[in-house]
Amino acid sequence: MIIGLTGGIGSGKSTIAKQLRRMGYAVYDTDSEAKRLIVEDARVREQMEKLFGKEVYKDDVYQTHIVAQKVFNSLPLRVGTEEDLLSRLNAIVHPAVKHDILRWKNEINNAMPYFVECAILYQAGFDKLCDKVVMITAPEAIRVERTIARDHTTTAKVRARMHAQDVEGDILRADVIINNDGTKPISTLCEEILKQIR
């Protein structure tokens, strides 16, 4: 059984994923695996160089800042237009990650539930690979506070990232909703998740 684990920035989704790993459950982190595929997958590299230029890789290292600058400079454009680099970047990376999730699933092939952690699970279409989806939520003020403490950033930047993710609207689509407002230990929340998905 594949369980999608999603939630907005600062919800505590990654903290819950870490605890699930400690408990012996396999967790596929789409962020870190996407970064790996951008470097290791020849087809992805070819498409990235075609879209962003050869300078996107320097000494075999992916130049995240170059891509981020180009993508965010294009964001005022209407999402989905030909000039929208974020949509075009996602069209390269998301199918590669989707294929890799299926490879990972086949390698594990055991009776225990395993988890796919992704902030934009629905937007990327990864929910279609999952048997159930768990949404981690927390009050906005707590999410902002956590993210500022973690990333040493500003409230304005955190709120901009929240707006860009726009995942809270997906809460009604999830099978299980877990409120991570800090009143319960993470281990207890994980037990709640496991109980509800069973």
pLDDT digits (tens, 9 = 90+) for 56-109: 999 989 999 999 888 877 655 555 554 588 889 999 999 999 999 999 988 887
Domain span at residue 6? 1-26+112-198
- Mean pLDDT, residues 135-159: 89
Q: What percent of the chain has pLDDT over 70?
A: 92
State both tokens at 41. Answer: 């997958």
Q: Which helix (H) or strand (E) holds 34?
A: helix 30-40
The pLDDT, as a whole number, for residue 157 is: 83
Q: What whole-number distance in Å separates Cα of residue 105 and Cα of residue 132? A: 15
**Which whole number is the average pLDDT over 135-140?**
92
Contacts of 27 (CB under 8 A, 6+ apart): 5, 17, 20, 21, 114, 115, 116, 117
| Domain-ending residue, one of 111, 127, 157 | 111
Mean pLDDT of 114-142: 94
Output the domain CATH number for residue 185. Answer: 3.40.50.300
Number of domains in the chain: 2
Q: Are residues 120 and 103 in the same domain?
A: no
For residues 155-163, give the mean pLDDT: 80
User: Do residues 105 and 138 both lie within one domain?
Assistant: no
State pLDDT tens for residues 165-174.
766 668 889 9
What count of other Cβ atoms lies within 10 Å of the Cβ of residue 96?
18
* For residues 116-137, average pLDDT: 95
Q: Does one domain contain both 135 and 55? A: no
Instruction: State which of 93, 111, 129 marks the end of a domain.
Output: 111
User: Within this chain, do residues 117 and 198 fall inside the same structural domain, yes or no?
Assistant: yes
Domain boundary among 55, 85, 111: 111
Q: Above 60 in pLDDT, residue 50? A: yes
Cα–chain-centroid distance for residue 147?
15
Q: Are residues 144 and 196 in the same domain?
A: yes
Q: Are residues 94 and 41 in the same domain?
A: yes
| Mean pLDDT of the chain, nearest integer | 89
Across 118-144, average pLDDT: 93
Q: Which whole-number Å values give the CA distances from 68 to 19, 62, 99, 155, 172, in the listed order?
A: 30, 11, 24, 20, 31
For residue 121, give the nearest of 112, 111, 131 by alpha carbon. Answer: 131
109: left (phi over 0), alpha (psi -120 to 50) or beta: left
Locus of tokens 């087809």: 43
- Inter-axis angle of helices 85-108 and 30-40, nearest 10: 100
